Amino acid sequence: MQTEYGTYLKGHVMEERPGIGVEGCTSGCLDHADCRSINFDRTTHMCELNNASKEDFPEHVTRDHRSLYATNDFHEEPIFEESCAHWLKRYPDLKTRYYWIKTKNKRKKMRVYCDMERFGGGWTLVVTINAKNNDHLQKAENNCADSVTCVTFTETDIPGRKLSDEDIHEIAGNEGVFQVEVPLNSLSIDAVNKNATVFYKIPSGAQSFDSSCKGDQLK
């Protein structure tokens, strides 16, 4: 475990072990199935075992001249939630970026782009649409970027990518709301704005979502 002086990870302490020293603290983390990193106070000799690392939550890293921090490099499995909305509910201060999710029933693991700031946050990017084709209207997964991240976020030269309807159903749950970014006509009086944002909620529930509907993000 590589140690860093002056770094402290806040909000993820699962166990405190006083007075055991740095070596005892690192050994305790390596022996603990859920330990992903440690904080060690060099003044009080308090060892904190964390259930997350600074790589998992860069937003939660602070500076503390008394602290020694180390990540457990042997704990490679990422942390999962069921959707971006679940991530934000658990940690309200998260920033917009990619997160790992595990779908509820199929238990599929994937990395998704989460918008944590606009319109209340918690939006999972599930479809991007390219005007050159209608591939987004199929139920199956389409043109995934790689084996773990299907739909990637980009503001220019947007490729058409899509999660399967089955995966979208599991991410949405029963109360899903769909957010659609609609490009405005260049002749519109609102053309100063690049996109209009429209929201949809399916009256019969998000499980009725079908790809013939043009959705791109959901909550």
219 within a domain of the structure (yes/no)? no
- On the question of pLDDT at 216 being above 70, the answer is no
Number of domain units in the chain: 2
Where is the domain boundary, 47, 71, 95? 71
pLDDT per residue over 15-28, tens digit each? 999 999 999 999 99
d(CA 74, CA 2): 11
Residue-averaged pLDDT of the chain: 85
Q: Which of 74-83, 140-149, 178-187 has the lowest mean pLDDT?
A: 178-187
Q: State the pLDDT at residue 44.
A: 95
Place of tokens 């769909």: 178
Task: Write down the pTM of the prediction.
Answer: 0.77
Do 47 and 154 lie in a common domain?
Answer: no
Question: Do the domain assignments include residue 76?
Answer: no
The domain that holds 189 is classified in CATH as: 3.90.215
Element containing residue 70 per DSSP (H, E): strand 61-71
List, for residues 150-207, the tens digit of each pLDDT value. 999 988 888 889 998 888 888 887 557 777 776 655 445 554 555 677 777 777 777 7
| Residue ranges making up the domain that contains 16 | 2-71
95 in the same domain as 183: yes
Distances (CA, A) of 187 to 165, 170, 192, 195: 34, 39, 10, 13
Token representation of residue 20: 């055991």
Beta bridge partners of 128: 161
Domain endpoint, select from 33, 48, 71: 71
